[in-house]
Amino acid sequence: MERIIFLLLAFVAMTIAMEPKTYDGDDTYVNCIKENQGPDFCSTYRHGTEGRTMGVYRTIDGTCNNLKKPKYGATNTKLRRIIPAKYDDGVDLPRGHHQASDYEKLPTAHQVSHSVFKAVNSQVKNDKNVSVLFMTFGQFLDHDLSVSPHEECNVTDCSQDNTKKYPCMPIKFDKHKPDCFGFARSKPACKSDEKEHRIQLNELTAFLDLSQVYGSDDATATKVRKNDGSGELKVDHAGLLPIDRVASKKPGCRNPAGCPIVGDKRGDENIALHSMHTLWVRQHNYLARGLKKINSHWDEVKLYEEARKINGALWQHITYNEFLPKLYDVPGFSARFRGRKRFRRTRYNPHVDPSIINGFSTAAFRFGHSLVPNSFSQMGPDFNKYGPSIKLQNAFFNSTVLYKDGIEPTMMGLCANMSDNINNGIAEGLNKKLFVFPGSQLHNDLMSLNIQRGRDHGIPPYMNYRRACGFGRFDRQGFSFDDLLYTPKDIRQSFKNVYKSVEDIDLFVGGLTENHLREKLVGPTFSCIFKEQFEALRFGDRFFYTHRGRFSLSQLREITKITMSRVLCNNLKSMVSMQRDAFRVFNLSNDERVTCGQIRDVDLEPWRERKSRRPRRVRNIRPAHIFQ
């Protein structure tokens, strides 16, 4: 009897092994990327032609932010996990991509997208009065934090075996039909142990350092600078991003004259994002000119680095003081700098790893895809209609209108119009017409891509994150879809229709469709992930603007005056008025438009340097142990 059982088990195992994979994962490390190890030590590192110590300015690639662990937060380092990865084989194979595992019960990414999300072709106003500028700022912020390199795979017929070869992992419309659209896996970091699970890299620095403006490598950083003694970044005669004519034939570039020189390769992805890039380049130049006026003896390097340092501080302040509090409760930032005369300093903690969390970049911080409108309004400086709106599908990789009319009509339109709600309603331009070029019969579905990318990266299901965030006390044995109290009833029904188990729900899908916390834009699970990530980016960044030793008290007082509205006033031509909170649409009941003269700006006087004064030695302050 035992021999018969043994033979039966052996036969079953052989049968399973012979079953076809929906994805051929052989040799998936053929193009793996070696992780940036950083310098061996940082104590002798020098930056700039005058040998200024690294205690003053950031490196472009993020190395040596942490002096003892030089690669923390640096470019080309591994994404961080806060809970273990979830692969079918425990190492590499994405969830649902082998018939021998849970493939038969796990729906395809397209099936989930089609069941849970719906395309909307009209503007659906959000109930928080949030402007489209908020959405654009969020995408711009995301492009400061992470991007994982991936291969290319363009297939439309999954009946061919070669479409399943690495790096292709196409998204099928239906398990039993050949129709699909291409998807390529992210390149993995090379591993030293065969049992080590697949992990992806972040090509960018993890820090809020405006790397999307200044670049994350020396070559890009040099390319975007004027290097003419002014300390400024390159712009053309109209104050727009200069065109890179050499790269005019790169894939996706619709501008026949070429595409812009910018710190991040995604800068021309849409007209709103392109405009935001231009805005912060102008803000850098605005600061560099101001510093030049009060410190005419400063050289190119000093002007550039000081303007970059201040610009980064303004960027961090707006992010933590205006943007993030609308998403979730930011500890210590809700009222810290509002109307206070004294400022609370913070301390850097070298034991905090600021690296980007895989579940944050691959799922949670893609919440903004639900905010995207179907078109971008064009408005004049008085908020009157300037020209026809630009349809979303025509705004991808197409900056022609910006070089014709400037960024002002687009930016004013972003400030004047509400974004969509964060829910299961997705702009048709993303759900059905993503990156569709004229004459093309292909289409992509952004929600499917997000779900597939999460599975590619081994992101654990939604329920795993609920438990990790402390919501597991509500999960009992036999927990069902009906017990998801933070999920709307109609969404729970959609889950039932497409998933076999509540344990299968993808993080992106479950988190995005949660009911929002009171006065916030996302639910508890995404809020939990945001808090973990942005606290790490704050305390794990030696150069964060509120840390002791970064700025003098008088300088910090000026930095904390800044608002997004003031940045717009500084850098948009013919501005007449602006609401004080640019991330909320003007509404007579809760806001007012004021002239730019009524919105406070940063006074650079505290940065005036006397020629005879010897530069003060900057020493590294020993941080307190905030986290254990």
The predicted-structure confidence for 29-84, as pLDDT tens digits, reads as follows: 767 888 887 776 686 454 443 334 456 899 999 999 999 999 999 999 999 999 99
User: Within a 10 A sphere around the Cβ of 155, how many other Cβ atoms?
Assistant: 17
SS3 content of the chain, % helix, strand, coil (to 5): 35, 10, 55
CA distances from 108 to 178, 304, 456 (A): 13, 49, 12
Q: 268 versus 193: which is more confidently predicted? A: 268
CA–CA distance, 324 with 547 (Å, rounded to integer): 19
Percent of the chain with pLDDT over 90: 60
- Whether the predicted pLDDT of 294 surpasses 50: yes
Residue 120 has pLDDT above 90, yes or no: no
Peptide linkage before 167 cis (omega within 30 of 0):
yes
Give 276: exposed, middle or buried? Use CB within 10 Å, 0-12, 13-18, 19+: buried
Q: What sections of 428-517 are H helices per DSSP? A: 428-431, 446-456, 462-468, 489-498, 507-512
H or E element that contains 594: strand 593-595
Which pLDDT score is estimated for 291?
A: 98
More confident of the two residues 611 and 262: 262
Q: Which of 143, 277, 457, 547 is catalytic?
A: 143
Nearest residue to 377 via CA among 387, 369, 367: 387
Instruction: Give the contacts of 598 (CB within 8 A, at least 6 positions apart).
Output: none
Res. 124 pLDDT band, cuts 50 70 90: low
pLDDT value at position 254?
60
143 is catalytic: yes
Quote the mean pLDDT of the chain: 84
Q: What's the rounded mean pLDDT across residues 563-581?
A: 95
Q: What is the mean pLDDT of residues 274-282?
A: 98
Mean pLDDT check: name the lowest of 264-278, 466-480, 504-518.
Answer: 466-480
pLDDT greater than 90 at residue 160: no
d(C-alpha 275, C-alpha 411), whole Å? 7
- What is the spatial distance between Cα 318 and Cα 324, in angstroms, rounded to a whole number? 9
Spatial CA neighbour of 224 closest among 216, 233, 235, 236: 233
Question: Is residue 430 scored above 90 in pLDDT?
Answer: no
- The predicted model gives 464-468 an average pLDDT of 94
Please determine, for residue 211, whether its predicted confidence score (pLDDT) is greater than 50. Answer: yes
The first and second tokens of residue 191, run together, are 């591993």
Name the β-bridge partners of 593: 579
- Distance CA(322)–CA(199), nearest Å, equals 33
- Any idea where the domains of the chain sit in the sequence? 1-18+28-150+185-607, 152-184
Q: Say what the pLDDT of residue 166 is.
A: 81
369 is in an annotated binding site: yes
Residue 45 and residue 66: Cα distance in Å, rounded? Answer: 12
CATH class of 1-18+28-150+185-607: mainly alpha
Residue among 248, 292, 290, 242 nearest 263 (CA):
242
Q: Is the pLDDT of residue 342 over 60?
A: no
The more confidently predicted of residues 18 and 608 is 608
* pLDDT value for 198: 93
The answer to whether 454 and 507 are in contact (CB under 8 A) is yes
350 preceded by a cis bond (ω within 30 of 0): no
- pLDDT(289) > 90: yes
Lowest average pLDDT, out of 252-261, 331-340, 385-394, 521-530, goes to 331-340
